[in-house]
Structure 1
Amino acid sequence: MRKAFVIVTILALVAFALQFIFAAVGAFTKPAGDDAYALHSVNGMAVIPVLTLFTILFAVLAKAPGRIVGLAALPLGLVVLQVLLAGLANGLTDTAGASTPFGLTIAGLHALNGIIAVHVVVGVHQAARRLANPAPAEAAPVAVREGEPA
């Protein structure tokens, strides 16, 4: 199960990296229609949450310490926050439907939260690797009696 935990964290990292690429695809699509962010939306609303749930599941099945299980659950909360930030940013427009400075600030927080989520997933992956491949135990110190050569 510990190897599966590592593998699912790699898949999550790939999905998060793709999320940034899909956001750029949406931002640079001309003309920008409602479907410009389709890949970003599907990945963020389906793929990433499922992989995050699998990460939590495999952390528990790998008998990871509670701190690591909690760290594995954190991206799920950050994904929920992402959805809230995106919805709020999209809703904060003026009467003509144009972006407002406050809405753009919230959109910036959406991007910042995505960066934070990636860093958390990197930490989960590192913890999963350490759990799967623990460092070799250090040699126990040898007692030397006084007067004997070391």
Structure 2
Amino acid sequence: MRKFFAGLAILQVLAVVAQFFLAASGAFATASNDESFQTHRMLGAGIVLLAVLVTVVAAVARMPGRLIGMSGLVAGLAVLQAVIRVIAAAFDDAGGSTTAGELVFGLHAVGGLAIMAVAMTIVRQARRMSGPGTPVRPAP
């Protein structure tokens, strides 16, 4: 089960890397913003679901509590990304974006970096924990 957890954690990192690619592709696309970022938004929802799955598998695999918590943190940070988008849009006026909206939306990129950092930490620890000879924590 620990190897499965490690594999899911790696898949999660790959999804986050793809998310950065889709964000850059949408930013430089010639189509409208709604159309350009559609795949980015869809993958974002997938990342939230994947992060919840990673958290559940971490708990079932009896990973250390800190690792389970970090897995849940990825899900929380991914949800926060959508909240940042909504808050930034609330600052926008009818004709387009405002400076305040753009500054708030800048936090979206910072949040993406935080997600990547936590996801990479999970992968490092999961790989270490899934190696041979790693003791399994006894059931409470």
What TM-score do you get using the length of structure 2 for normalisation? 0.90
- Equivalent in the alignment of 1:54: 53
Distance in 1, matches of 2:67 and 2:101, equals 35
Identity of aligned residues (%): 34
Pairing 1:17-96 to 2, within 5 Å after superposition: 17-45=17-45, 47-96=46-95
The structure with the larger Rg is 1
2:39 counterpart letter in structure 1: L
Query: How big is each residue's C-alpha offset from its partner over 1:3-27, in whole Å with a ceiling of 9 and x where there is no partner?
Result: 0000000110011001011111111
- Equivalent in the alignment of 1:7: 7
Deviation at 1:91, TM superposition (A): 2.4
Query: How big is each residue's C-alpha offset from its partner over 1:20-58, in whole Å with a ceiling of 9 and x where there is no partner?
Result: 11111111110324211011000002x101210111111
Higher relative contact order by CA 8 Å / sep ≥ 6: 1 or 2?
2
1:41 counterpart letter in structure 2: R
What TM-score do you get using the length of structure 1 for normalisation? 0.84
- SS of the aligned residue for 1:99 comes to coil
**Aligned pair in 2 of structure 1 residues 103, 42: CA closer, same or farther (>3 Å)?**
same
Distance in 2, matches of 1:91 and 1:135, equals 53
Structure 2 runs not aligned, ≥5 long: 135-140
Distance in 1, matches of 2:133 and 2:119, equals 21
- Equivalent in the alignment of 1:100: 98
| Runs (4+) off by over 6 Å | none
Distance in 1, matches of 2:93 and 2:49, equals 35
- SS of the aligned residue for 2:27 comes to helix
Distance in 2, matches of 1:32 and 1:74, equals 32
Deviation at 1:94, TM superposition (A): 2.2
Deviation at 1:87, TM superposition (A): 1.2
Question: Alignment partner for residue 122 of structure 1, among 109, 120, 123?
Answer: 120
4-13 or 53-62, which deviates more:
53-62
Deviation at 1:101, TM superposition (A): 0.9
What is the aligned residue count? 134
RMSD: 1.5
